[in-house]
């Protein structure tokens, strides 16, 4: 099993087995795994990160559960998709230990969750952002 398939299997196991799964009991009963896009090497890249100042102010972000969390802008990077430059900002926890990379694309609200998606250093797997 390749790294991406292994990571996806771990996510599905978490969703179906872990006490902190976001799925309510009614959905858990019928859950057979998330629906994934096929991996596409076109979207695999290495990028140089430009760091922000260490004293960037903390900002509050609302999670999908309505909880407010503090983050600090940690750095940014750019890459090209279909000839267009995209720039993403990486956030860290207030201490700079855990990282969070939120993003949106044209699939949001149609093929994927409407609010967007993210990678984090706790569960980023083969798409690690650190």
pTM for this entry: 0.73
Average pLDDT over residues 52-60: 94
- What's the rounded mean pLDDT across residues 3-18? 90
Q: Which of 108, 105, 43, 53 is nearest to 75 (CA)?
A: 53
Q: What whole-number percentage of the chain has pLDDT above 70?
A: 93
Q: Give the mean pLDDT of the chain.
A: 86
How many Cβ atoms sit within 10 Å of the Cβ of residue 52?
Answer: 16
């Amino acid at each position: 099993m390749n790294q991406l398939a292994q990571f996806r299997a771990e996510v599905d196991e978490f969703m179906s087995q872990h006490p902190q799964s976001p799925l309510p009991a009614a959905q858990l009963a019928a859950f057979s795994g998330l629906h994934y896009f096929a991996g596409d090497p076109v979207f695999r890249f290495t990028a140089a990160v430009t760091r922000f100042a260490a004293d960037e102010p903390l900002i509050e972000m609302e999670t999908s559960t309505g909880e407010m969390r503090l983050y600090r802008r940690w750095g940014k990077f750019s890459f090209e998709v279909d000839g267009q430059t995209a720039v993403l900002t990486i956030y860290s926890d207030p201490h700079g230990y855990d990282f969070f990379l939120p993003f949106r694309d044209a699939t949001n609200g149609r093929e994927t969750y409407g609010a967007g998606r993210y990678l984090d250093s706790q569960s980023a797997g083969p798409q690690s952002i650190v």
